Amino acid sequence: MAEKRINNTTYRVGRVTAPEALRMKVRIGKMLGPGLEDMVLAVAAGVSDDMDVKAKANAAVMSAVGMAFERCDPDAVVQLAGEIVAKSEWKAPSGDWTTTDFEGDMTERPADLYPLIGFVLKEALGAFFPAGAAGRLMGAKAH
């Protein structure tokens, strides 16, 4: 399981089965169309400590989100975002882990939403995207 602290909350993502990951990738691909490549690069680069890479990743995310907003039914986007968020758990002050609730938890911590979606996608789908995506975003060639 991978863990990540986002703002003041620690989240974790467990293993996602291959069929779940592939289904999610196809759904995202249908929503983003040509923006899928931008989103792949952004998710891959989102873990970088390099501020230039993070800035490029943020721009790519905004471009891909803009495409999704133009192409998609809002209810479909909300449903997929909820399914992505539900793949994570958050650590309560008691130390207990609980499944992240899109409506409840993200309403309470709205600044966590996009970083959490990026974290879940990176962990759940990272192995299903071509190697070297982060390097391409930084201008390096994939090996």
* 84-117 confidence digits (pLDDT tens): 999 999 999 999 999 999 999 999 999 999 889 8
Determine the pLDDT at residue 42. Answer: 65
Q: What value, to the nearest 5°, has the Cα angle with vertex 60 and ends 57 and 65?
A: 125
Residue 3: alpha-carbon gap to chain centroid: 14
Residue 78: alpha-carbon gap to chain centroid: 14
Q: What is the dihedral of CA 122, 42, 38, 103, to 10 degrees?
A: 60
Cβ-count burial of 108 within 10 angstroms (0-12 exposed, 13-18 middle, 19+ buried)?
exposed
Residue 121 CA to residue 87 CA, distance in Å, equals 9
Picking from 2-6, 27-31, 73-77, 130-134, which range would have the lowest pLDDT averaged per residue?
A: 130-134
Residue 141's φ and ψ, nearest 5 degrees, are -90, 140
User: How large is the average pLDDT for residues 123-143?
Assistant: 53
pLDDT in tens, 31-81: 777 666 666 666 666 555 677 776 776 676 677 667 767 778 889 888 989
Show Cβ contacts of residue 9 under 8 Å, excluding neighbours closer than 6 positions: 90, 91, 109, 112
pLDDT at 141 over 50: no
pLDDT at 132 over 80: no
